[in-house]
Amino acid sequence: MERNMLSGLIRGLLGLGSLGALGTLGFVFSGDSAAAPPPGNSEGEWRLLEPVTFENLSVFPVVSSSTHDTSWFLTLDEGLASGEVQVREQGSEGMARNRDGVLRPTYTNSAAVNQLVLINRSKRPLLLLAGELVSGGKQDRVIGKDRLVPAGSEPLPLEVFCVEHGRWSSGASFNQAKTIVHPSVREQATVEQDQTRVWNAVRAGTTAKARSSTAGVGAAAAPPPTPAPLASPRIARTIQDEAPTESYQKIYESRSVGTSVDEYVSELQKRFSKATSGVKDAQVVGVVIAYGGEVAWSDIFASNGLFEQYWNKLLRSYVVEALARPGYKQVASRADAGDFLRRLNGRVREETEPGVYRWREINEGRLSQIELDALEPKVVTLHRLLIHRTN
């Protein structure tokens, strides 16, 4: 994985050879270092509520009595909708006019599967989350990792992964899809950073393996799980009938798949709203997610405002994953879910753009924790992701 990350960096720097903006990026990469709680971390202030359950999915709300002002940050959906943020293929244009009015070369002469060009013309830093989908261009892509893009920045290389395997042709300009890919796909892009695994996860629905019974001798065997509604044969039929280019969006928003997802989302949304409406002196800032009895995922933000901006598309992504996994009739324990609020004890890998952001990954066994810190106007962890890896 480190080798993939390094090769991706090298490709990005080579692609910026003609940018004229390379000197302004100031990326600093550190090797492994001992884990230490960063400034602005809020894990001591988080509290877990009772789970909201439906079918094989349990959602544990995470609340905090102290949150941060995140109104200063722009989301990708907001920026693309207003036109202040643009995403382009490499080579789609050769020059861009910077804030000083000078035309400068922006990127290499040919498009690339795993790199786009992003321009932030807004007056706010742009927050990107790994797994956010942008549709259009030569093929649909998802953001490869969390990061911040400075306000009014020059064109920057954007690491992405393709989620439309069967198309490489001119299309409409990139626009917001209001979609985050489901956890199995997001894991392959965020942690594994492997394009082939991303494609395989799109086709298969889930990369999680069915669990075997752990009943001892003489004990009653655990009941078998119900079949997954989105088992890979159904996804294959959907691709054949409705999504011949293997577009993630067309597959998972198709008539044959989307109806099941929408009904599931609607029911969970109602239950979640009811469960969190009576919380006093605290705000919902994130969730811990379990499938059957297995705690698998968490997304936690610096404020309720940020959480609300991402909640609808995050919930849909969790539901797609639930429908793609076998239906174990179990509910994860609150103690296991609470373990997802602790800081992992492992080695740290960091990427920093001075004065803008710090990205950090910590691995401990099958767990991976990824955090994005904003460094200005003060240090605060904007987003924290914790994954129980399926690979």
Q: What is the pLDDT of residues 194-228, one digit of tens each?
A: 999 999 999 999 999 877 655 444 555 667 788 89
What burial class does residue 9 get, using C-beta atoms within 10 Å of its C-beta: 0-12 exposed, 13-18 middle, 19+ buried? middle
Q: Residue 253, Cβ neighbours under 10 Å: how many?
A: 18
CA pair distance 53, 337, nearest whole angstrom: 13
pLDDT at 213: 54
Reported pTM = 0.85
Question: Which pairing describes strands 132-135 and 126-128: parallel, antiparallel, or unpaired?
Answer: unpaired
pLDDT tens digit string along 282-335?
999 999 999 999 999 999 999 999 999 999 999 999 999 999 999 888 899 999
pLDDT at 220: 55
Cβ partners under 8 Å of residue 20, min gap 6: 104, 105, 154
pLDDT tens digit string along 223-275?
778 889 999 999 999 999 999 999 999 999 999 999 899 999 999 999 999 99
pLDDT tens digit string along 85-98?
999 998 754 444 45
- 2-16, 111-125, 245-259, 290-304: the lowest-pLDDT one: 2-16
Question: Before 39, cis peptide (omega within 30)?
Answer: no
pLDDT tens digit string along 48-58?
999 999 999 99
Average pLDDT over residues 346-357: 95
